[in-house]
């Protein structure tokens, strides 16, 4: 009897521990992921992008350097966490688990990976932060973990399908849990 009760208590303790871990990084809060941007296509563009799960979505914070001064650039989460190609084409297309058309993140229909353009200052630096309601950090079909973040050469026009006519890929980073 004592062994049976001990076994049940141990099983309950393990279940409670696993339940506590399961909430980390899910839509209910707490997860964090980071991507380090590396130059692509012969540029000097780099930086960091962090994704933090919050109520209502994922807070994305980006700090990008090495952009041409006073320019605007498309900025997206891409489907594959692969930045191995010199032009970052190995990252695939925009992350789009719901199969929606490309558009601005404030529009009802847009890819989950569509984000606002980045604008570089006179020194070629860009900083941005926005809440992304269509992404999550952790498990599930909308998780940003294992995806790539891409900075494009040109601005996103938010209407050309499926890419926004944002041009070549000048920086790429794989998103990993942190």
In the chain, domain spans: 26-177
Tell me which fold the domain 26-177 belongs to: Immunoglobulin-like (2.60.40)
Is the pLDDT at 26 greater than 90? The verdict is: no
Highest-scoring range by mean pLDDT, 10-14, 21-25, 82-86: 82-86
Q: Are 75 and 91 in contact (CB under 8 A)?
A: no
Ranges of beta strands (E only) in 46-154 are 46-54, 57-65, 72-73, 75-78, 118-119, 126-132, 148-152
Nearest-10 Cα torsion for 96, 97, 98, 100: 10
Is the pLDDT at 29 greater than 60? The verdict is: no
Q: Got the DSSP string for 9-22?
A: HHHHHHHHHHHHHH
Is the pLDDT at 146 greater than 50? The verdict is: yes
Which of the residues are catalytic? 76, 78, 94, 102, 111, 114, 152, 169
Average pLDDT over residues 96-104: 90
Rounded (5°) CA angle 161-172-107: 35
**84: number of CA atoms within 13 Å, CB side?**
4
Closest CA to 118 of 107, 129, 109, 110: 129
Average pLDDT over residues 25-44: 82
- Those residues whose C-beta lies under 8 Å from the C-beta of residue 53, and which sit 6 or more positions away, are 25, 26, 27, 29, 30, 31, 32, 136, 137, 138
The two tokens of residue 81 are 């966490």
**Phi then psi for 56, rounded to 5 degrees?**
90, 0
Banded model confidence at residue 19, pLDDT cuts 50, 70, 90: very low
Banded model confidence at residue 105, pLDDT cuts 50, 70, 90: confident
The Cα–Cα gap between 112 and 103 comes to: 10
Which pLDDT does position 126 carry in this prediction? Answer: 98
The Cα–Cα gap between 90 and 11 comes to: 44
């Amino acid at each position: 009897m004592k062994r049976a009760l001990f076994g049940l208590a141990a099983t309950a303790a393990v279940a409670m521990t696993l339940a506590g871990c399961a909430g980390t990084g899910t839509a209910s809060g707490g997860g964090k992921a980071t991507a380090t941007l590396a130059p692509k296509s012969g540029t000097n563009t780099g930086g960091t992008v962090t994704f933090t799960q919050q109520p209502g979505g994922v807070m994305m914070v980006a700090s990008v350097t090495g952009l041409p001064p006073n320019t605007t650039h498309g900025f997206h989460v891409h489907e594959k966490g692969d930045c191995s190609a010199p032009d970052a084409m190995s990252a695939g297309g925009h992350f789009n688990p719901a199969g929606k058309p490309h558009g601005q993140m404030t529009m009802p229909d847009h890819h989950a990976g569509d984000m606002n353009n980045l604008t570089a200052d006179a020194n070629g630096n860009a900083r941005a932060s926005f809440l992304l309601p269509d992404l999550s950090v952790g498990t599930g079909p909308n998780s940003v973990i294992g995806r790539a973040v891409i900075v494009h050469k040109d601005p996103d026009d938010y209407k050309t399908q499926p890419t926004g006519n944002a041009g070549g890929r000048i920086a790429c980073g794989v998103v990993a849990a942190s």
